[in-house]
A and B are shown apart, each in its own frame.
Chain A
Amino acid sequence: MASLRPLRTTSALRTLSQSTKPSPYVCRRITTTPNLQHNTTVDPSEVTHFNALASTWWDPHGSSRLLHLMNPLRHTFISRCHSSQPDAPPTNHKLSYLDVGCGGGIFAESAARLRGTGSVTAIDPSPEVLSVAKAHAKRDPGLVEMMGEGRLKYLNTSIEELPLPGTQRGRQYDIVTLFEVLEHVTHPSPFLEHLLPFVKPGGWLVLSTIARTWTSWLTTKVVAEEVVGIVPRGTHDWNKYINEGELREWFGNKEGWGNVRAMGVVYVPGLGWREVPGSEGLGNYFFGVRREGEGKGV
């Protein structure tokens, strides 16, 4: 997989980046020149992997337990992004969400239930997990009602196939979310490029992912997948991880994007996920960036 990746590393570090041993010194620069073989950034092997996990997605003690436990922090982080705005979002405005890589719908369901939510569109390229998401939403009459009104939508599509804003049926969203997805994307730069137009001016792109460090290799690959087995083997490819600094740099070069915020989180067995300031450089972190412009002041 590493050979297919559009990474541009310095020649001195190239050998390290392609060896199986992780190194925190590898610089994974997110390039702006896509090198695509298909018209999608979705990796078929990832779709297969998550199809296989679909059945246990909502088991509270199953393979997605860590994701379930992390979900409340996603809302915490989004609230913090909003409260960091110089212009406070109007209280009566109902937010629209686009959840990219929604999986079984953990975040999409929770966002849909919030009082301040107008609509949620959740997309995922894996048909199996998407059918899990739809079947699970059927357990909640409130969500069923929202789906009936078209305010909660699950779409089996990649971001590239979603109608672009400005085109027929295309639209923009107050919040575009990308939770635990970026580390599964082979070509992160073109993928992010595809996402950006979907954010309303004044809206936020909010994501969470894993930094590529010694710590994250040890915790997410060795401990989580091999020793404890809390995450199914093969879920993560450490080489795909992206560091907070890399994202910051990438968005720093993007005109019209700012207000970058990050929050590092650490899983403490027995306690759950805890915010640890500074840990965005170590492992799991949230990242938020705001699209400049008037918009609706969101």
Chain B
Amino acid sequence: MPSRVLYSIRSCSRISLLRSHIPARSWYSTAAASSTPGQPELYDVVCVGGGPAGLSLVAGLRSSKITSNLKIALVEGQDLQKNVLKDASPTIYSNRCSSLTPASVKYLREIGAWDHIDTSRVQPYQEMQVWDGVSDSRISFDWASASGLALKQPVDRTTIAYMIENLNLTTALLSRLSELDSKLSISSPTRVSSVELGQETEALDLRSWPTVTLDNGRQLAARLLVGADGANSPVRTFAGIPSRGWDYGRHGVVASLRLEGPGWGGEEHKIAYQRFLPTGPVAMLPLPGNMATLVWSTVPERAARLKALKEEDFVAMVNAAFRLSPVDLEYLHTIPEGQKEEVEWREQHTPVDEQKIPMRAVGAQAGSVANFPLKMRHADTYTGERVALVGDAAHTVHPLAGQGLNQGQADAAALVRVIETAVSQGSDIGSQLALEAYTGERWQANNALLGAVDKLHKLYSFGSGPIVPVRSWGLSAVNAIGPLKGWFMRQAAGT
């Protein structure tokens, strides 16, 4: 078991200045005390990373009656107070959006965070249109056509998922936390300088306790150190947990777009679109009003070129991505500019059923076009002695199924439950025995999803050849079989 030898490879080199007595304060009930040099502050949970997964974990622990007495510190490198949604315009959206599943929303409601969401900026969608850019075979998802298993639909009978800016979610989690109490120690913007195991003194043995040194000099010793610190997780590195996977050789291009209208179904029936191109899927996901968010995965050179285009050319390329053939698109990526005119001309010769594809983009929000590399990574385990990983620190998934953020929320929910169980049984919440249930609950579920999404990516990366008709047949077959479609939809909805 790799998790058993985690600490043997860590050396503990810091010279001990620890005092030989423990602080005279009530362990479970007092707020953060000031740090004395050389003596770490003691915490039940130190969560490194204040993204959606980390904040959701901390809010979950604070909301639970069983775990609300735990002494918790949150450390985030960015300034959390600056990264909040305020006075946001209804026509300006962050380019980092996620599709929240009903399962994630249910958890956020349970921990009292959903009430803090700015719901005017959340867009539920009721239908998904997915098609093959090579063969044009198509599948449409909506609860009405997924017949037979209507009883197992989510509570909100028509909603598949909810488009939300990540910022809206983190802002809500932060205001939920400040509503809960002021005892939580939040260090932001503060970076972690190092993580080492603690020292033994006459009274206290912290040799199994990870001790986090912050760039402001504070030292926090953790009964349980949670790595919610992203794909390059320093906590995971400290714990010696390997993370395996591969790079897709693709970048995700994101942008906030303005469309010519609210969508073919109007404000009450929003539709998410995804077209599989040989370079990767391109998705147009609905936001309130005429707004939409783009996620276009493509090869890095094309991503860089798209990002460099003038607005009108970029918008033309987006419209082309949902309309023109892969061959046309390939050509359009080779010209340095003038895509607008090229696309207009080519569209006249490419008949499409406009009602089946997203409404035309008419503008791209300034500064919203960005790109990032796509990867698949999975940590060998999520837990070690006094360490647990959540969210991207544990796994990174291709965005084509919109599941990354939801996996992190499910991780947080599961870890909260495991910690609740440990507290109610008197277990040390940092012990491997208490934590292993968390790996048990989440690893296999995440691995299955990572694998499925990875296979989908590979399946659709063929531009021609025998795979194309087979996958097209498969898509049409699923589309025709209501119960099977219902099953796929419930997977997507996380129910």
Contact = CB atoms under 8 A, between A and B. Distances in A.
Interface of A: 60-61, 68-69, 71-72, 75, 109-115, 117, 135, 138-142, 144-145, 148
A120 to B, nearest CB: 10
A113 B426 contact: yes
A279 B426 CA distance: 26
16 contacts: A61-B1, A61-B4, A68-B433, A75-B424, A109-B426, A110-B426, A110-B427, A112-B426, A113-B423, A138-B200, A139-B208, A139-B209, A142-B28, A144-B203, A145-B26, A148-B22
A114 B421 CA distance: 12
Nearest to B205: A138
Q: Is the interface of A mostly helix, strand, loop or mixed?
A: helix
Contacts of A69: 433
Given A111-B426, A113-B426, 4 more contacts: A60-B431, A68-B433, A110-B427, A139-B428
B477 to A, nearest CB: 36
A139 B209 CA distance: 8
B426 A60 contact: no
Interface string B29-67: 000000000000010000000000000000000000000
A138 B427 contact: no
Contacts of B205: 135, 138-139
Contacts of B208: 139
A140 B427 contact: no
Interface string B431-463: 111001000000000000000000000000000
A71 B204 contact: no
A137 to B, nearest CB: 9
A69 B440 CA distance: 15
A197 B225 CA distance: 44
A110 B433 contact: no
Contact of B203 (A61, A113, A115, A138): A138
B426 A141 contact: no
A69 B433 CA distance: 8
B206 interface: yes
Interface in B327-367: none
Nearest to B27: A142
A141 B27 contact: yes
A144 B4 contact: no
A60 B207 CA distance: 17
Contacts, number: 57
User: Which size bracket describes the interface of B in this complex?
Assistant: 20 to 34
Contacts of B424: 75
Q: Which 6 A-B pairs have the closest CB atoms?
A: A110-B426, A113-B426, A138-B205, A72-B425, A142-B27, A60-B432
A139 B433 contact: no
Contacts of A139: 204-209, 428
B27 A145 contact: yes
Name, among A72, A140, A141, the residue most crowded by chain B CB atoms within 10 Å (CB to CB): A141
A10 B316 CA distance: 97
A212 B208 CA distance: 40
A179 to B, nearest CB: 13
B428 A71 contact: no
Interface string B412-428: 00000000010111111
Contacts of B206: 139
B71 to A, nearest CB: 10
Contact of B433 (A60, A113, A145): A60
A114 B424 CA distance: 7
A31 B338 CA distance: 100
A111 B69 CA distance: 17
A144 B25 CA distance: 12
Nearest to A110: B426
B204 A144 contact: yes
Nearest to B203: A144
A24 B28 CA distance: 49
A115 B29 CA distance: 11
A61 B204 CA distance: 24
B425 A71 contact: yes
Nearest to B200: A138
B101 to A, nearest CB: 28
B22 A145 contact: yes
A61 B425 CA distance: 20
Contacts of A61: 1, 4
Contacts of A117: 426
A110 B425 contact: yes
Contacts of B1: 61
Given A60-B431, A138-B203, A144-B203, A114 B27 contact: no
Contacts of B27: 141-142, 145
A141 B433 CA distance: 19
Interface in B66-94: 69
A68 to B, nearest CB: 5
A112 B209 CA distance: 20
Contacts of A141: 22, 27, 42, 204
B440 to A, nearest CB: 10
Contact of B428 (A72, A113, A148): A113
Contacts of B203: 138, 144
Contacts of B425: 71-72, 75, 110
Interface string B161-198: 00000000000000000000000000000000000000
A60 B385 CA distance: 10
A60 B209 CA distance: 16
Nearest to A75: B425
Contacts of B426: 75, 109-114, 117
B4 A138 contact: no
Nearest to A137: B205
Nearest to B435: A60
A112 B27 CA distance: 13
B18 to A, nearest CB: 12
B428 A109 contact: yes
Contacts of A111: 426
Name, among A113, A117, A135, the residue most crowded by chain B CB atoms within 10 Å (CB to CB): A113
Name, among A60, A75, A109, A144, the residue most crowded by chain B CB atoms within 10 Å (CB to CB): A60
A109 B27 CA distance: 15
